[in-house]
Amino acid sequence: MRTIIYAIGIVGLVAVLTPHLSAQSLKIAYVNSEKILNELPEAQAAQKELESTIKVWQDSLENMGKELQEGLEDYQKKQALMDPTAKAAVEKHLQDLQQRARDFNAQKFDNRDGEMVKLREKKLQPIQKHVLKVIEQVAKEDGFSYVFDKIENASNVLYADTKYDLTYRVIDRLKRGGSMGKATKDENN
């Protein structure tokens, strides 16, 4: 009877200690990638370029809308005096203006394959790759097995102790490392 109790005690002790032993070898940290990109000069410059280009597109779209609105108002004032042929021609012109504005909007601002999405990807993807490499370097140096992203507005991390936050270490490493061009050259060698 004593050996059975002793065996159950050892099995229980192993069952209790095993998760603690394996948890010690598994280190988890997190970063706030949004904050990192907001602090990184290269990302700020790319974002300003994007905003500038998008502003031009938005202005063009707004001008198309104004042209359509003015044409529609003019048509409504004069339609009673127009002959059917002229009326049809103006209606066709207004429909064409409306279609042109829709096409322009889809071409520039479509969330799947619009030029805005492609331009954002083109400008930010190299910066994001560089940031990921630095996150990986910091994580490996400190022996972290996993690093999660804790974004301000959309987080999959329900709780995180700030002592495991690598965000400012990554920002510091990126800023000390100089420009992205230098890091990219070093990575290629």
Q: Is the pLDDT of residue 173 over 70?
A: yes
**CA separation for the pair 7, 175 (Å, rounded):** 57
**The pTM is what?**
0.66
Q: Is the pLDDT of residue 44 over 60?
A: yes
- Contact present, 171 and 152 (Cβ < 8 Å): no
pLDDT band, very low/low/confident/very high, at 10 (cuts 50, 70, 90): very low
Q: Is the pLDDT of residue 48 over 90?
A: yes
Q: Which of 21-25, 30-34, 45-49 has the highest mean pLDDT?
A: 45-49
**pLDDT at position 165, please?**
84
For the segment 125-165, what is each residue's pLDDT rounded down to a tens digit? 999 999 989 988 998 888 888 888 887 666 566 566 777 88
The residue among 34, 25, 24, 48 whose CA lies nearest residue 170 is 34
The average pLDDT across 81-101 equals 94
- How do the domains of the chain map onto residue ranges? 25-188
**Higher confidence at residue 19 or residue 66?**
66
Helices (H), the chain: 2-25, 33-39, 41-78, 84-109, 115-142, 167-176, 180-188
Q: Is the pLDDT of residue 5 over 50?
A: no
**pLDDT at position 159, please?**
62
Looking at residue 32, what DSSP letter applies? -
Mean per-residue pLDDT over the chain, rounded: 81
**CA separation for the pair 73, 66 (Å, rounded):** 10
Decide: helix, strand or coil at residue 155. Answer: strand
Q: Is the pLDDT of residue 12 over 90?
A: no
